[in-house]
Amino acid sequence: MAKLVFDIETSALPLDRFDETQQEYLFREADRLPDERERQARREEIQRMFSLWPLTAQVVCVAMLNAESLRGQVLFIAEDYEAGEGDAGPVEFVPCMDEVELLTAFWDVARHYEAVVTFNGRGFDVPFMYLRSAVLNVPITRKDWLGYRFQTEPHCDLAEQLTFYNVSGREGAARRFNLDFYCRAFGIESPKAQGVTGMDVGRLIEEGRHQEIAEYCLRDVRATVQLHRIWQDRLQGIK
């Protein structure tokens, strides 16, 4: 069964993209606070969260690998990228002019795969891709990736598997950790080892450092591939 492993990076849309009514809705909670300092701090906190919501952010990068061959692509938004800047062996770096082009290219690849592997993709990546595609009227070629939660086909979400579907809650033996923590625990090189994290994406975009975003996203996917293999070898089948 051909399996696609992927990860996305997102970035908040500019505040001026939202009209007065939308901004009032987004900051309503903050604006109710009586203290001006607390109110401003809460507004800034909410705006930092924009990158997590598909109605207030866009997809700026998608890295994809075939779980077996490790061949793949990294799609990323960049107008001034020169081919050949990214050296990733069997992985092609593909610059896109805008989000529509990126999403269209992603779904064109996705339709060739029978299954998908992610880390927290059921809770974030997949619904984000679905909603952004719907907002931009980009046809979705695989609409079954949310499916039945307690199955690993067609979607194996390692964040679900390594917590045994959140069997012990936030504080129990199977509490959820982030990908970086799992990688370090299982002896996999962390995608954050080179100093870039998802929190840096917005700043890197502003600085035009598109290649660094693409390479960071690819490191996430390569780590997910290795973690998936460990899960298959050591934990798959536990009920």
pLDDT tens by residue, 127-181: 999 999 999 999 999 999 998 889 999 999 999 999 999 999 989 999 999 999 9
Specify if 135 maps to a domain. Answer: yes
Identify whether the C-beta of residue 72 lies closer than 8 Å to the C-beta of residue 63: yes
DSSP assignment letter at 149:
T
For residues 99 and 10, what is the distance between their CA atoms, to the nearest angstrom? 11
Specify if 186 maps to a domain. Answer: yes
Specify if 29 maps to a domain. Answer: no
Specify if 8 maps to a domain. Answer: yes
Specify if 23 maps to a domain. Answer: no
Full domain range(s) for residue 140: 3-18+56-234
What was the pLDDT predicted at 87?
Answer: 52
Identify whether the C-beta of residue 65 lies closer than 8 Å to the C-beta of residue 118: no
User: How far, in Å, are 64, 95, 115 from residue 101 at the CA level?
Assistant: 16, 9, 23
For residues 107 and 148, what is the distance between their CA atoms, to the nearest angstrom? 21
Specify if 50 maps to a domain. Answer: no
**Per the structure block, which two tokens stand in for 216?**
């960071």
Residue 13: CB atoms within 10 Å: 15
What was the pLDDT predicted at 209?
Answer: 87
pLDDT grade, residue 1 (50/70/90)? confident
* Angle between helices 126-135 and 99-110 in degrees, nearest 10: 120
Residue with tokens 């990076």: 9
**Per the structure block, which two tokens stand in for 225?**
């591939």
Is it the case that residue 219 has pLDDT exceeding 70?
Answer: yes
pLDDT grade, residue 227 (50/70/90)? very high
Query: Residue range 109-129: average pLDDT?
Result: 97
For residues 30 and 43, what is the distance between their CA atoms, to the nearest angstrom? 6
Specify if 202 maps to a domain. Answer: yes
* 190 vs 102: which has the higher pLDDT: 102
Domain count of the chain?
A: 1
pLDDT tens by residue, 66-114: 999 999 999 999 976 665 544 557 999 999 999 999 999 999 999 999 9
pLDDT tens by residue, 26-81: 999 999 999 999 999 999 999 999 999 999 999 999 999 999 999 999 999 997 66
- CATH number assigned to the domain comprising residue 184: 3.30.420.10
Among residues 153, 158, 104, which one has the least CA distance to residue 133?
A: 104
How large is the C-alpha radius of gyration of the chain?
19
Q: Give the up-direction half-sphere exposure of residue 100: CA atoms within 13 A in the CB hemisphere.
A: 4
Specify if 38 maps to a domain. Answer: no
pLDDT grade, residue 206 (50/70/90)? confident
Residue 170: CB atoms within 10 Å: 8
What was the pLDDT predicted at 83?
Answer: 55
